[in-house]
Amino acid sequence: MKTSRKILVALPTSILSTESSLLLKTIKTYQVIRYSSIFGVSEIVFFRDPFTDFSQHRKYSVLIEKIWRYLLTPPYLRRKLIPKDPDLKFVGLLPPLRLSTFDVSRNGRVGEKRLGLIYREKNKLLADIGLPRPYRIEAGNCKPGDIGYVEIVDVNTRRAICLDVEPYRGPILAFADSLQEVLEEYRKTVDLIIATSKYGKIPSHKELAGVKGKTIIILFGGPHRGLYDIAKKEGFILENKVDKVWNTIPEQMVKTIRSEEALISTLAVVNMFIYGENL
């Protein structure tokens, strides 16, 4: 049984600063999206750390957004929706994201649910669902231009209905100009703000179990500066703005842990306590 909760993640765009090539930047962006999708993260917020100038932050943001849009578009709709772009030169080398909504049959079958591009033609509402010919939408609230979630009703007559259920489509993408902006904006909507740091406290079982059923945002530092340094540079004390500062990788045996490594390690721990029983 699924537990009602949302996990949001925030990390700096400067995670790309250590990568010397477009290929490596593409791989790192993929890793963040893939790791977040594994654990059903609802939103990723990329913020500018104060050691990164605005122009570089914008450059990273543009690249991240292009790769994100490509990866979270159903593979069978990419040629139609994603224009050719030199920044996407290496996306074809990435492993498939394999969201459950992308896992569809070759020919379609009655009852199958698929994402489709909704459009209108000759007063008919149609959906391109990755099959040789479009399907006519007979019911539901899909609108032209939507990527709708549809169910096949009849294969022979190519009929489908739009569903009100919203599947997991991967994390929503957002950007912020500072860590402080993230804290102020998301304080309004989440139950817990959790910062991560090797200087933080190792969370107890009770603290970890306390995330169950809550909406949380987990903050990560960058490759050169952690959250304490970022907060200090922005003029505030980290502990005064967050609910917890956790060290989720105690006794680390390497000098540094990459942001994407901290991300998957922390999400694995939190996810276990969200769904585990009697931990």
pLDDT tens for each residue of 98-137: 999 999 999 999 999 999 999 999 889 999 999 999 999 9
Portion of the chain with pLDDT greater than 90, in percent: 87
Q: Is the pLDDT of residue 278 over 80?
A: no
Residue 53 to residue 14: CA distance in whole angstroms: 10
Crossing angle of the two packed helices 259-275 and 22-38, in degrees rounded to 10: 10
Q: Same structural domain for residues 57 and 115?
A: no
Which strands make up the sheet holding 244-246, listed edge to edge?
Answer: 172-176, 43-47, 6-12, 215-219, 192-201, 244-246
Cβ within 8 Å of residue 126, ≥6 positions away: 118, 119, 120, 134, 135, 136, 137
- Residue 17, domain CATH: 3.40.1280.10
Q: Which SS3 state, helix, strand or coil, does residue 134 take?
A: coil
- Assess contact for 160 and 134: CB atoms under 8 A: no
Q: Same structural domain for residues 183 and 266?
A: yes
Q: Same structural domain for residues 76 and 111?
A: no
The residue behind tokens 């930047």 is 25
Q: Same structural domain for residues 216 and 121?
A: no
What is the span of the domain harbouring residue 259? 6-94+171-276
Kindly report the pTM of this predicted structure: 0.92
In tens, the pLDDT along 148-165 reads 999 999 999 999 999 999
How many whole angstroms from its chain centre is CA 252? 26
Question: In the structure, what pLDDT confidence band is assigned to residue 1 with cuts at 50, 70 and 90?
Answer: very low
Residue 240: strand pairing partners = none
